[in-house]
Amino acid sequence: MKHKWLMLIIFMALVLALPQGSWARVQGACSDCHTMHNSQNGATIYANGPYRALTKGDCVGCHTGTNSGSNNIPYVLDNSQPNYGTFGISGNTLAGGNFYWVKNGDDTTGHNVEGIANVDQNIGMTPPGWNSGFNANGQIAPNGWDHQLTCAGVYGCHGKHEEVDDFADIRGAHHADDSTIDGSTVGTSFRFLYGIKGIEDSDWEYQPTSTEHNQYYAVNRTDVSSMPSDTATINYLCAECHGDFHSGTGVSYTGSGSPWLRHPSDFALSSASGAGYTDYPGPFGTKGTYWPGAPLGSDLTGGVLSTVTFSGTDDIVLCISCHRAHGSPYADLLRWDYNNCKASSGNGSECGCFACHTNKY
Amino acid sequence: MKRNILGVTIWILAFIIGLCTSSHARVSGVCSNCHTMHNSQNGQPVSADGPNTNLTKYDCVGCHSSSTSSTTYQLGDSTVPVVLYTGGSAPTQYLAGGNFWWVKEGLGNTDGKIGDPKGHNVFLGEDDDFLTEAPGSSINCTNSCHTRLSEKAQAGDPRLQGKYGCSGCHVFVRHHANDHPNGNYNNVVGKDGGWYRYLPSPHVTNYGVEGIEDSDWQATVSASDHNEYLGKATSFTNSGGFMAIGADTMTAYCTGCHGNFHIENADYKGGSPWLRHPSDAVIPDRGEYANYTTYNPLAPVARPDLSNFNGPSATVTPGQDMVMCLSCHRPHGSPYDDILRWDYSQCTVGNSSECGCFICHTNKGTYQ
């Protein structure tokens, strides 16, 4: 008898000694996300249910709420207008932004995800810059865009792009052991973006700082006219739908003057020939201090970086240096209001472009 | 004491107002007036022919042309100088450099020939039907840099490869250079400001054109409201260019292509008789030339030194100021053959007419 109690105590000690989060990505009470029968006190709990994986709703069913910094579930949609602030780093939105504005009718402010917003009335269903060739991490929309964008799946951003059903496509990810983010499975990919690497901020960048933020994986390319060789960058994730904006003859050209035809990504500030880029973040801080308002990518060897040394491996422009993946208050899903971007105005403090283009305001 | 405080206050307010006043300095205004990051908006390309270099919505002509104005127009909150008017009839107003309307096929150059002498032929494929190279060219290169602006350069220098047209002269353009710090447009624009009107030497880094840029590109112009140009009188037996002249003058730039036109005299010091019309030559302070003392923007002069200028001057000082290429020609285009600033057929000795020659040659006729 005594041996049994001793064994139980030892077992519980072992359990408690294990590192937090090593068993499961998600944290908190199971009932935060699940209902066994969608029934409580004889009544249906969640309308239109029951839902797959015994959840409280579809993706947005769980991921809807107001971020407080202490919530266990990241909220990407708020039923009331979030506090975004000027650059989305001082309020209650997260790294990807929030779908609130596109849900409430402004198609230009977010990805028009099924179940959140209608099909974009300006663009339709085909993503701008769409190129089906960026399929190293799974083929998105193999038959073209005859289906609205979804959270995950064949027509989605998250997951492995093998199932049309976004739930099925990310099956097992939420409870996967994500202690190592290597892109090998959905659960061990940055933010369930299959094949993509990165370091995940523990609270999804709720009010990030220079020392507390995601660290995005990116590479500095010398040739942007060809298909990229590294398909694990956050920029490649964007390219899976917006590939013509990432690589190809429509991005750069060989000739006199500036080679850029479209804004670079997976390209280091220190590789730019013009002046001012290595004065990042310009008006937003001391030179070389990471500014989460306009994030830069790195090769991840230095972990979460608070300092940018402009080495070519820690100063890499990203798509999300300028855009929010989910949505923002601003057109083109920009992180800031482009109308505040005025050359030669003398005031650069309201336009994130000037974090890199430091001599243009 | 009260007077001093009032005076200082007025001075401070004037300074602040001066800073706030739009001065048409380096480009200003919302970035989206000129740029598109991905050449995509609402799922459609912004520029049908794009994407364009430097992520611009339009090419040079695309921005610097207008069908409604031949001087300037508003692109959002940016003021843009017009060098190509695309309206159906000839413009009556134009900026300092003139207008390409007359040389553009389909506009003033109605048959593809009649307008050829009226402007630099900068439009791709619209070769000058009368010239096979720059008149007075002293360059022996076999590429097209110094022959035709209407063809892409096949240059040994990779920085120049493929340039033509606008970028055949405005070789390296720096729209965002701080050419007028603190909104001061009475300053001399040089290297730090991207050079006067973006005219650097194509070959030598530290040379380019210096000058004082009129704030509205001479959309409005008078004796006291105009560009100011730099000149330097040197040997008149060489083919000019920045290296030979050794200064950042407008004439040095022109003679980069039209070098033989700088071989103007058998005597390196100049003086009568001239073999070709002088340029960067001091206007004599005697005889008929001494009468040109009030600046006439139709026949601009070059100054030997701009460092003491606080802005444009209405005074011409014979014996110091110089005649230059632009005293008689407009670099972009004009209504007149040889890109002259006036109708040469009006220049009849002894007559009073609108002949700009008589602004300097005051005893040959009367300018009116």
DSSP string, B244-308: HHTS--HHHHHTTTSGGGG---SSTT--SSPSS--SSEEPPSSGGGGG--B--TTS--EES--TT
Chain B contact for A126, CB < 8 A? yes
CB contact (8 A) between residue A344 and residue B159: no
More confident residue, A113 or A255: A113
What is the predicted pLDDT for the residue at A259? 84
3 state DSSP class of B326: helix
- pLDDT surpasses 80 at A54: yes
Whole-angstrom Cα distance, residue A198 to residue A216? 5
Chain B contact for A249, CB < 8 A? no
**Chain B residues within an 8 Å CB radius of A258:** 53-54
Model pLDDT for residues A207-220, shown as the tens digit of each residue: 999 999 999 999 99
- What's A297's DSSP letter? B
Structure tokens at A189: 């990919």
A262 → closest Cβ in B25, B29, B37: B37
- What's A273's DSSP letter? S
More confident residue, A255 or A237: A237
Whose tokens are 């360059």? That residue is B139
Structure tokens at A242: 């917006």
Percent of chain A with pLDDT over 90: 78
Q: What count of residues does chain A have?
A: 361
Whose tokens are 């003859």? That residue is A249
Counting Cβ atoms within 10 Å, is residue B202 exposed (0-12), middle (13-18) or buried (19+)? buried
Whole-angstrom Cα distance, residue B38 to residue B24? 27
Model pLDDT for residues B251-280, shown as the tens digit of each residue: 999 999 999 999 999 999 998 899 999 999
What is the predicted pLDDT for the residue at A11? 47
Of B68, B110, B113, which Cα lies nearest the Cα of B86? Answer: B68
Band (pLDDT 50/70/90 cuts) for residue A1 is low
Band (pLDDT 50/70/90 cuts) for residue A47 is confident
Question: How many residue pairs from chains A and B have C-beta atoms closer than 8 A?
Answer: 85
**Chain B residues within an 8 Å CB radius of A322:** 37
Whole-angstrom Cα distance, residue B98 to residue B329? 9
B65 strand-pairing partners: B84
More confident residue, B221 or B138: B221
Chain B contact for A262, CB < 8 A? yes
Band (pLDDT 50/70/90 cuts) for residue A27 is confident
Whole-angstrom Cα distance, residue B85 to residue B104? 10
A256 → closest Cβ in B55, B162, B178: B162
- pLDDT surpasses 60 at A333: yes
What is the predicted pLDDT for the residue at A19? 42
Q: Taking residues A99-111, what's their average pLDDT? A: 97
Centroid of chain to Cα A81:
20
Q: Taking CA atoms, what residue in B is nearest to A252?
A: B53
3 state DSSP class of A39: strand
What is the predicted pLDDT for the residue at A18? 45
Pairing of strands B78-81, B72-75: antiparallel
Answer yes or no: are the C-beta atoms of A128 and A242 closer than 8 Å: yes
- pLDDT surpasses 70 at A10: no
What is the predicted pLDDT for the residue at A254? 77
Max distance between CA atoms of chain B, in angstroms, equals 72
A342 → closest Cβ in B30, B55, B172: B30
Q: How far apart are the first and last CA of chain A?
A: 77
- List the helix and strand counts (H, then E) for chain A: 5, 9
**Chain A residues within an 8 Å CB radius of B29:** 342-344
- What's B43's DSSP letter? T
Structure tokens at B276: 């070709």
**Chain B residues within an 8 Å CB radius of A126:** 43
More confident residue, A49 or B94: B94
> Rounded to the nearest 5°, which phi and psi values hold at B105?
-65, 135
Angle, alpha carbons B268-B271-B274 (nearest 5°)? 85
ipTM: 0.88
Of B310, B100, B321, which Cα lies nearest the Cα of B229? Answer: B321
Whole-angstrom Cα distance, residue A279 to residue A274? 12
CB contact (8 A) between residue B176 and residue A344: yes
Q: How far is B89 from chain A (nearest CA, A)?
A: 35
Residue B113's alpha-carbon distances to A199, A339, B90, B110, in angstroms, are 66, 45, 16, 8
Q: How far is B190 from chain A (nearest CA, A)?
A: 18
Q: How far is B259 from chain A (nearest CA, A)?
A: 25
**Chain A residues within an 8 Å CB radius of B32:** 338-339, 341
Model pLDDT for residues B56-81, shown as the tens digit of each residue: 999 999 999 999 999 999 999 899 99
Whole-angstrom Cα distance, residue A275 to residue A153? 42
- pLDDT surpasses 90 at B145: no
Of A64, A183, A172, A54, which Cα lies nearest the Cα of A115? Answer: A64
